[in-house]
Amino acid sequence: DQQVKQNSPSLSVQEGRISILNCDYTNSMFDYFLWYKKYPAEGPTFLISISSIKDKNEDGRFTVFLNKSAKHLSLHIVPSQPGDSAVYFCAASGGTNAGKSTFGDGTTLTVKP
């Protein structure tokens, strides 16, 4: 039973346009959500996070939205750049311990010049 799901294995967008990556979760105990970016042959790199007490968090070109009632979060990248091409993982944790994060299977984003 996968508790964190990223239903789109891949996404392709044009440079300069918006990229929207989606993530759904089933465990109501999750209260901290993170997005990581992963390039080939490297470990995941933290991108942005959001606590369940918020519904939006922004950091430069990256914004994460959380809809707790729908158990859904999304990552918006505006504008998308070719260097954003990577695998994006959604992760969730509960009980203020992100050291036990549950990850989705990732979405491969390709930004075309």
Partner 1 sequence: DAGVTQSPTHLIKTRGQHVTLRCSPISGHKSVSWYQQVLGQGPQFIFQYYEKEERGRGNFPDRFSARQFPNYSSELNVNALLLGDSALYLCASSPWGERVNQPQHFGDGTRLSIL
Region 11-70 residues binding partner 1, contact defined as CB under 8 A: 31-32, 34, 36, 41-46, 49, 51
* Residue 24 or 89 having the CB closest to partner 1: 89
The interface region with partner 1, picked from 14-22, 61-69, 78-86, 93-101 by CB under 8 A, is 93-101
Which of 79, 87, 73 lies closest to 36, judged by CA? 87
Q: Are 92 and 102 in contact (CB under 8 A)?
A: yes
Q: Does 105 bind partner 1 (CB under 8 A)?
A: yes
Is residue 20 within 8 Å of 75, Cβ to Cβ? yes
Shortest distance, position 14 Cβ to partner 1, whole Å: 26
Beta strand pairing call for 4-5 and 19-25: antiparallel
- Count of residues touching partner 1 (by CB under 8 A): 29
Count Cα atoms within 13 angstroms, Cβ side, for 10.
3
Binder among 22, 62, 65, 103 for partner 1 (CB under 8 A): 103
- What does the alpha-carbon distance between residue 57 and residue 74 come to, in Å, rounded to a whole number? 11
* Eight-class DSSP state of 70: T
73 touching partner 1, by CB under 8 A = no
Residues that bind partner 1 (CB under 8 A): 4, 6, 31-32, 34, 36, 41-46, 49, 51, 89, 91, 93, 95-106
